[in-house]
Structure 1
Amino acid sequence: MTGATDRETAPIGMPRQQRNGSHWAAWHVPSGNGCRECGAVYDRGRWLWNATPHHDAQLVCHACKRIIEHAHGAELELQGCAYLRAHRAAIMDLLCLQARIEAYYHPSGRPLQIDEDANGLRVTVCGATLLRRLGEALLNAHLGRFSIEYREGDELVRACWTRASDSP
């Protein structure tokens, strides 16, 4: 894949220093290879659905690798508050809808798990693009505050959404 820029091959929002992890290696494969787990095909820097593999060699895409290894690339915390508890069903529906839309268009943008505890919800996803999409959807539908944290030397991108219960 000569001549490709970082922008063409890098997941949106991933800082340069985080592009050297084991899951990042899946982005540097020849075009035309397919994932034996999900059927996505790598073509010119992107994993695509409904494409035909040009090579017999099958590999595992980085999203499937993360799923198999339970190694999420990003996590979103929805911090516990009265608003979250009161609107839990609508928020869960919104998160699931946005995850399905992202996975439909981008095989690498898949959710991994949603955990609930006394402090709120924790959503783990394959990468930063879906994380940002979920945060923006929450802001558009439920207002509140959303922040993303990229820690240097850490492959995991963290985000937090919260809303005061007395907000409009």
Structure 2
Amino acid sequence: MKVQIVLLIFSLFTMNGVAATKKVKPAPAPAVLQFTPEAILAEVLKKKNLELRPQLPLPKLNLQSQTSLKKFQDDIEPQWNMRPDVFTNAYAFKTNQIFLMDQAAYYKKTNRCIDDSLAHELMHYVQVMYQNADLADESLESEAVDIQTWFRETHCKLPPKALLPLIF
């Protein structure tokens, strides 16, 4: 019995010692905007041949690393008529908020930058606030994708793509 107690105490001490010395891996650094939201909006407006309307409130920017999934769901559900399971990039026009993923690994994997995602969502803001568009119109998504691609190709500093081998 004494041996079992000693072994139990030793096991607990050893496990606690290991746990205490095990380093916790820090969360990866989030993606960081290269440009301010105001500068990105100015570029989007310029591309669309529109002038800034200072009287219009800018959308509030909610970064994923600083925003709970519940807040995202609560603000997007009335617009989408469904409760999303995951956080994604979106413009909530009813509350004039942009939700933006800021996971650096996502942007690296997709060879994109967080700024082009913001340009996409700001295009939706422009469609609603400047053009009185109805986001139910599916063609508006194509326009936002076009702006996003243009912004990425024009302004984002991305690492060069690896050369692919030629296949004959």
Regarding TM over 0.5, the answer is: no
Q: Larger radius of gyration, structure 1 or 2?
A: 2
**Structure 1 or 2: more helix by fraction:** 2
* TM-score normalised according to structure 2 size: 0.30
